[in-house]
Structure 1
Amino acid sequence: MTVTDLSSTEYGEFYSNYIQLVPPTISLRTALDDSGALLIDYLSNVPDERVDYAYAPGKWTIKQSLQHLIDSERVFAYRILRLGRRDATPLAGFEQDAYVLQANLSNRPFERMIEEFRGIRKSTIALVSGLSAEDLQFSGMVSGHSMSCRAMAFIICGHTYHHDLLYRERYAL
């Protein structure tokens, strides 16, 4: 399955920017592997003195942005689990800025955060790999929009590609 298999009715319009960042010719599994590897490659080369750098006032630091990626992937994987198990209970959104502000990052080693992201991505891959094609097509209400499991998995990839691009363009090392 590739991102071109998705219908625009499988996700909210807000997520189309993320969907569009996934290369159209690669499989979901390859997109999960590739987006994670690209991000980890970048983050592994961030010098310690740069992890608290923000490219503009009011923007997240490199470390905060990674925490956002960790939190977001956990939330989306939970949503995939719920829908993959055919739980049609509407799922609420989450306030990403509040999550980042509540995370106590001052004493968290950046290297451990990278390892945490790596572990979460492995878990996401295992979750998605364990779902059937029918499970992945199941849709439910997420943040007020009809969303399919497979769309959420591609959104995880696109969201990671998005932040990788931001890191490379705006947090240039």
Structure 2
Amino acid sequence: MKPSPKDYHPYYKMYIDLIDSEDIVSVLENQIDEFNDFAAGLTAYDFNRRYSEGKWSVKEIIVHLIDTERIFVYRMLSAARNDGSDLKSFDQEFYVSNSDCREISHRLLIEDFINQRKSTISFLRTLTDEMWHRKGDIGGYPFNVSAGAYIIAGHFIHHINFIKENYF
């Protein structure tokens, strides 16, 4: 079920390569516990920490993870339903800068991440085997449902590892 390179833009290879498992739904489920363990060790101060001036705070990275997952679920839905639309890419900097996440409590962000992830998993469980291989387009590049699930999981690993290595 792991996607082949023809199923996604080459940029996403770095995320997909972080996943060894063929059971992507289990990987996504296990990341809920990993996220809970990670977040439980942080204080409100930690969530607002930046590793360098002008870089995203931990809170902003979590907002970015949530936004990206929502967008990729829409892309997967579009492909799974044979929509045929060429979907646009999105500007992550624009989304984060317009999130006003400083006003959101870290506890609410934790809850939002978990709820989004559970919704993603629920959606993926409704798909037939054929739907997992259906394709759409993002900015003129192919994209299939399986690739979307792997990108979400790998994107999570990338950012959580980055936080652990650079923020604390």
TM > 0.5 fold call: yes
Closer/same/farther in 2, CA of residues 162 and 36 from structure 1, 3 Å limit: farther
Query: Partner residue of 1:71?
Result: 67
Once the two structures are TM-superposed, the CA of residue 41 in structure 1 deviates from its matched residue by 1.7
Query: Partner residue of 2:103?
Result: 107
Once the two structures are TM-superposed, the CA of residue 78 in structure 1 deviates from its matched residue by 0.7
Q: CA contact under 8 A between 1:32 and 1:125: conserved in structure 2?
A: yes
Correspondent of 1:145 among 141, 144, 147: 141
**TM alignment of 1:92-171, pairs within 5 A:** 92-171=88-167
Correspondent of 1:9 among 6, 9, 13: 6
Query: Partner residue of 1:82?
Result: 78
Q: What TM-score, normalized by structure 2, do the two folds share?
A: 0.95
Q: What TM-score, normalized by structure 1, do the two folds share?
A: 0.93
CA-based RMSD of the aligned residues comes to 1.2
Q: CA contact under 8 A between 2:66 and 2:113: conserved in structure 1?
A: yes
| Structure 2 gaps, min length 5 | none
Out of 156-165 and 139-148, give the one that drifted further: 139-148
Moved over 6 A (4+): none
User: Does residue 43 of structure 2 align to residue 47 of structure 1?
Assistant: yes
Task: Supply the AA of the counterpart residue of 2:81.
Answer: R
Aligned-residue sequence identity (percent) comes to: 32
Once the two structures are TM-superposed, the CA of residue 168 in structure 1 deviates from its matched residue by 1.2
Task: Supply the AA of the counterpart residue of 1:104.
Answer: D
Structure 1 residues 14-39: Cα deviation after superposition (integer angstroms, max 9, x where no partner): 000000111x2351111111233222
Task: Supply the AA of the counterpart residue of 2:46.
Answer: R
Task: Supply the AA of the counterpart residue of 1:38.
Answer: E
Once the two structures are TM-superposed, the CA of residue 171 in structure 1 deviates from its matched residue by 1.5
Equivalent residue pairs, number: 168
Structure 1 residues 78-105: Cα deviation after superposition (integer angstroms, max 9, x where no partner): 1111111111111001100000000112
